[in-house]
Amino acid sequence: MVDESRADSAQGATSTVIVGRPKGVLLHAWFADHARVAADTSLFVSQRLMSSFLVWLMVGVALTLPGLLWIAQSNAKAFGEQWPGSTALTVYMKVAAPAQSIIDLEGRLNREAEVERVVLTTPDQALQELLAQSDDSAFLRDALAAVGSNPLPASFAVVLTDNSSYLQLEALSRKLSAQTGVDNVVIEMTWLERLRDLSDLANRMGGALSVMLLIAAVLVAFASVRLAIESRLGELRVLALIGATPAQMRRPFLYFGSAYGIGGGVMAIVLTAVFLNQIETPLQSLLVSYRAGIEIAGFTPGFLLVILLAGWFLGVAGALLALLQRGVSDNPAK
């Protein structure tokens, strides 16, 4: 030991004690220290697998709801966009309404600001469609022959612009009902509009809840890292005395925060996958009843990455809070 030291010419009475950071030790040292701390963190976490699992679960649960809300929001949006018929009204004219009143109404509809498109179905077209859709058109023809005239009215399918609200739709419906020759106005897909309103409400409430849950995730990481700091105060004192830099002393705890956060992110992904798997079948069945065949989207690699990054960020934020609160780098050698 001492013989080896003898060979080290840098040591000795003539050399001066360096009181600043020597040059040329930065990048290599930085990588080496990260590798060492990563290995230490893996060991620390694997030695406390049960408690680490509980932390992951808590962070994961806190991350799952925001993730699910994000998926729900993106699917609701896609659902509205992909709906076979956009928000619309159907205006039924009285049977045998004069042709002029039909033309007048068409002109009026086309002048309405919230109307994007108007499609007129004449009584003859309606009859042809009915016959085409009927399983027993011969019977229907006989019945119509007995009536002697076409009993179907002319109708307008009125497609509204995307930014039309349900209130505007209702106002237009009332206005059209008062027009000459109009028998009935049916608002299509009002349930979709209501779904959108409910979705907006859910998004706002969910947003607030998500913020609270994300804060909870930070606090979970904070508490866990705080415990780790408390259990390693002796080690910190020794590290400070032997010359560990403040960054070296903080680093293990930032890695703990990262491990807890990323583990929580993985847990959130698993929980989200399980949840989506559970609701997929009943949701598809519900959508089929509305003649829509839209699949649940959003569980993409991008989503997984965002969840992992969010978990990592929250874990590191919790660790930083714990380090700040405990003042790890404030000369623990004292």
List residues near other proteins by CB under 8 A: 1-2, 4-6, 8, 11-22, 25, 28-29, 32-33, 36, 234-235, 237-246, 248, 329-331, 333-334
CA-to-CA distance for 159 and 167, rounded, in angstroms?
Answer: 15
Give the single-character DSSP code of 17.
P
The nearer residue to other proteins, 232 or 311, going by C-beta atoms, is: 232
The nearer residue to other proteins, 32 or 113, going by C-beta atoms, is: 32
The nearer residue to other proteins, 39 or 273, going by C-beta atoms, is: 39
Query: Token pair of 124, please?
Result: 């003859």
Angle at 315 between CA 245 and CA 75, to 5 degrees: 150
Contact assessment for residue 192 and residue 87, using Cβ atoms and an 8 Å cutoff:
yes
CA-to-CA distance for 142 and 156, rounded, in angstroms?
Answer: 27
User: Tokens 């993409």 sit at which residue?
Assistant: 300
The nearer residue to other proteins, 136 or 330, going by C-beta atoms, is: 330
The nearer residue to other proteins, 135 or 330, going by C-beta atoms, is: 330
Q: Positive or negative CA dihedral for 190, 193, 198, 201?
A: negative
- Cβ 285 to other proteins, closest distance in Å? 55
Contact assessment for residue 79 and residue 193, using Cβ atoms and an 8 Å cutoff:
no
Amino acid at 17: V
Contact assessment for residue 136 and residue 113, using Cβ atoms and an 8 Å cutoff:
no
- Cβ 56 to other proteins, closest distance in Å? 22
